[in-house]
Amino acid sequence: MRGTVEGWFAAALVSCASAERPPAPALESPPPTISTPAPEAPLPLPCDGIGTDSSRLGHPLEPPPGTGVRSLDELVSIPGIPVEIVWTSILDGKDLDWAMRTGAVKAHGLWALRRVAGGWCVLGSFGSSDPVKAPMGFPAPMLDGTGVAVALLRIESLPDEATKLGTRFVALATDGRRLWFALAGQSGNQLVAREAKLRRAGTKLLLEVHASSKARAVLRFDGTRFAPMD
């Protein structure tokens, strides 16, 4: 009996030793790592040769001339006061947008923007640091026959000590390459008057100025500035 048990036990050991072990469970391989390339920065806007330092008129505004902007929101420096395009002039077949700060908070601002693929290039700007009473007006801008765009700005501010008038006018001109003041008065580049407006007389571009209820003057644009008529 003992031999039989020992034989069975030995056979069981041999059987267990010779039996194939079950394979170990396969480990799940981690998902492959996919490297996503960083988005490429957009190419700079083609603003070389557009705008000069002298085209930054009045109170300096950001961004300076020669800067590329892809959205008008980049011109907004005062929360809640948007910038809107108020006129588009075409010079040498190229669009020039005039964008103005629409509110009456802190200071007035206007930018001349050359339209390019992907946005605009700042050609020039004008900022007024005068106390502001109302949004700046932009009445009836015109193109001169010599290929110059002229804009007349109306600013309501504190009364002038000499005339007691609070209305000021600023004339800006551009040939599509630079921006400059086109009007000079006793108050520098601002004309204090009761009313002023641009009008045409044939091929001439004129500025009619009403300093008071009786005093009236007419200035002619000579391609650069408004000057008294001969």
Per the domain annotation, does 185 fall within a domain?
yes
**Between residues 41 and 61, which one has the greater pLDDT?**
61
Residue 14 falls inside a structural domain: no
pLDDT at site 136: 79
138-147 tens-digit pLDDT: 877 888 777 8
Q: Where are the alpha helices (DSSP H) in the chain?
A: 2-18
Q: Residue 211's closest CA among 176, 187, 177?
A: 187
Q: Report the domain count for the chain.
A: 1
CA distance linking residue 179 with residue 126, whole number of Å: 9
The answer to whether residue 5 sits within a structural domain is no
Cβ-proximal residues to 185 (8 Å cutoff; 6+ apart), any chain: 191, 192
For 178, counting Cβ atoms within 10 Å of its Cβ (0-12 exposed, 13-18 middle, 19+ buried), the class is: middle
Indicate whether this model's pTM tops 0.85.
no
Residue 8 lies in a domain: no
